[in-house]
Structure 1
């Protein structure tokens, strides 16, 4: 079970979970009008390293004069949390018109998911005191949002909780391992001989 911290704090932290996080899918201009397409995820977790977030915060809000702003971040990496029941049924992205692979929770595939033995996914079981259903992170579905955007969310009512240090480290280590995997090409197909 994932342990969480309910102390909000003043800065964005690795492991923070926010409500209603928008991904800007595209921006198009036509005849002087902007069309912005966005996807709103009900929950998302911050994956950016905490030391980078702390340095960014200090750089932005320190009263001491600094000679440069090389610690500032442009954006923060986040990943959506998907409701595990929707995930099992492959329906977690159905509102985007996408049908995903189903997972039988009673078979080996489901056991691997629950035990975090599938490198692409991270299963999160929250306690009864946390207002989040059991969820899964798909490490292929990460995106960035601006620091200012998340700062406004942290100061507003969209901050839910923060995953405790040990658990957030596990999530981020698994995310880093997934991203650094070696992509192997498909093996060549054997050539058929002509008769």
Structure 2
């Protein structure tokens, strides 16, 4: 088999696998997948939007609630790309315990933070350059690394202090019944609920 034929066969196999996966989903699951996929295609990918995990997660929660009466949870946790021993604050959504993450597939500095997988209900829609590990709580070994790095670098210490405060605020929003709406109410006009919802209309 030539290279072109091999590649064609690989693409067809991926399409078949995706089709089988989609057929296994119920109506609500398909809606979550479609909304998240459309948001990635029409906003994240089209405008090369990066560093917006909180915005995207809270918007998905609010949009699915308002437009489809579907509840998804915003998880404010931690990720690691396998290139260092610490962890970074990150947010994603979960539906019935399955992960949706449309923000890590594009990063502002791919040479420093490699793009991760585009994940729709635990299904890897697009492979990234790194396969991230996810935790809902900061793991002890990562906390130790961050503490040691903060002690040796005052600027890093200030950055982490700001990030820690932001992480806690996002956790607070995620825990509120109306937290997504409150978060989005303070977003810039071009990134507020109505602006993003219009892209999905």
Please tell me the TM-score bracket, short chain as reference.
under 0.3
Q: Please identify the structure whose Cα radius of gyration is greater.
A: 1
More strand by share: 1
Q: TM-score of the superposition, structure 1-length normalised?
A: 0.25
Higher relative contact order, structure no. (Cα contacts within 8 Å, ≥ 6 residues apart): 1
- TM-score of the two chains, using structure 2 as the length reference: 0.24
The structure with the largest helix share of the pair is 2
